[in-house]
Amino acid sequence: MIRPALAILRKDLRLELRTRESVPAMALFSVTVFVLFHFGLHRDEVAGAMASGVLWVTLLLAAVLGVNRLFAGEREGRALDGILLAPIDRTAVYLAKASGLFLYLVLLELIAVPAFAILLLGPGIGGAFPELIPILLLADVGLAGVGALVSGLAAESRARDVVVPLLLLPLLVPLLIAAARATEPLLTSHAGPHQLAKWLGFIGVYDTVFLLLAVAVFDYLLED
Amino acid sequence: MTSRPLYGKGLRALSIATALVLTAATALIFFYAPLDADQGVIQKIFYVHVPMAIVALCGFVAGGLMAIQHLRTGDRAWDMRSYVAIHLSIVFGVGVLITGSIWAKRSWGHWWVWDEPVLVSFLIVFLLYCCYQPLRFAISDPERQGRYAAVFAIAAGAFVPINFVAVRMAVQQVHPRVLSETGGHLPGDMRLTFLVALAGVALLFATLWKLELTSKNASDQLRRLRARLEATPPGEAPAEAPPAPVGVS
């Protein structure tokens, strides 16, 4: 199961390297949303809960773009049938798509978090490290797991671009709550008490539940 | 002729039971349950709001369980059951949000309060399930429609408890906990009224569920009979109605 998954992942990454359709679009989109927040909130600097909310909502919205494009290669080239004809476990497709999305999200954050620190953040991003890294990574696992499932769900539907955000964003609300709450004290200049362990634990539970669930049901999406 | 009965068996008995229990619940609410000391008469909305919320959430989760059954057996009857359960729960969910808003307006002075985990969680769950129908009917192949809807129903059914935990962790408690571990702090006569109201609403849900399934099965059967009529003698049957796509309400 691992080798076919790696093969599909390699194919997706090569495709992304050559076409550059997902990650640059996500990064550009996140910077645009920061600019929108600057004007929408009428603020030059944000801190604390506001900063954490702006950052996470932007990342979630940018993730929607990636999720929308996740099966685009297969769809446009009608390549899914080929993958389904190959004698491999269907779960490999899910694992490949989820890890691809995970890598896209990490790349996105490498651009979006510094951009956020420069454009909007008041207190300076230095104080947020290293705690911010496990939060981002754990949240990315959940985002990627749920995102790949939703992408598979919407792949066959006619109203795909409507279904993805409508389905994905409510599913991510628990993740948003935990990630934003965990990040909030890190973006304040005089940080209060942390509850980092509690929120990280919750994100871990969320990731586990949805990954197991997605692995269990994803096969049925590709069954023909 | 066909394996599925045209009319729901036991539907009449179920309807009568529902009517009786709902009447009893109404009587209890207005003549037996005491007036709440600080909230007054508006507190009576509690006997509608909370049972509806509990039934709607159970309906969502039950829809997920029926969807598991559909994926395991491949039987389209389970898909229909799951679909009708979720569809009815959405309808009940609208009722929950409206009654909850009315109650919030009277007792806290606002139509919507964000620091109340149960209402907020319910809104998120409701928003998620509102996508069920668009997702379902954007897929044209009926067999695939059932499978995709089932995957959604299972994921969303698992989401319901996680979401409640998350929102509860995030918000301070102001909502009256009705069914807490200790059994709540309801006095005995309020408790009895509440339980009867809960039974009434649950029965109402079951009746509506069965009714809709019956009507769907009947129209399904009618469509099959009509198709057969059109197929047998060419030019004889006045075929007028085009066959509706499967599963469209």
Residue B52 located in a structural domain: yes
- pLDDT tens, residue by residue, B54-65: 999 999 999 999
Residue B236 located in a structural domain: no
Using pLDDT thresholds of 50, 70 and 90, give the confidence band for residue A207. Answer: very high
pLDDT value of position B67: 93
The more confidently predicted of residues B173 and A46 is: A46
Cα distances (Å, whole numbers) of residue B177 to A42, B20, B76, B117, B182? 40, 28, 39, 11, 10
Calpha distance A193→A185 (Å, rounded): 7
The more confidently predicted of residues B107 and B20 is: B20
Residue B124 located in a structural domain: yes
Distance, in angstroms, between A88 CA and closest chain B CA? Answer: 21
Task: With CB atoms and an 8 Å threshold, state whether B144 touches A224.
Answer: yes
pLDDT value of position A57: 95
pLDDT value of position B167: 83
Task: With CB atoms and an 8 Å threshold, state whether B166 touches A174.
Answer: yes
Q: What is the 3-state secondary structure (H, E, C) of B29-95?
A: HHHHCCCECCCEHHHHHHHHHHHHHHHHHHHHHHHHHHHHHHHHHCCHHHHHHHHHHHHHHHHHHHH
Residue B232 located in a structural domain: no
Distance, in angstroms, between B245 CA and closest chain A CA? Answer: 16
Q: Cβ(B156)–Cβ(B128) under 8 Å?
A: yes
pLDDT value of position B229: 87
pLDDT value of position B37: 67
Residue B246 located in a structural domain: no
Residue B241 located in a structural domain: no
Phi/psi class of residue A191: alpha, beta or left (left: φ > 0; alpha: ψ in -120 to 50)? beta
Residue B62 located in a structural domain: yes
Q: Which residues contact A60 (CB under 8 A, 6 or more apart)?
A: A143, A169, A172, A176
Whole-prediction pTM:
0.83
Reported ipTM: the value is 0.84
Distance, in angstroms, between A29 CA and closest chain B CA? Answer: 24
DSSP conformational letter for A127: G
DSSP conformational letter for A89: -
Interface A-B, measured as beta-carbon pairs within 8 A, has a size of 88
Instruction: Say how many domains are in chain B.
Output: 1
Q: Which of B135, B140, B143, B144 to mutate to test the interface with A (most CBs of A within 10 A)?
A: B135
Residue B65 located in a structural domain: yes
Domain that residue B124 falls in: 11-32+39-216
pLDDT value of position B173: 47
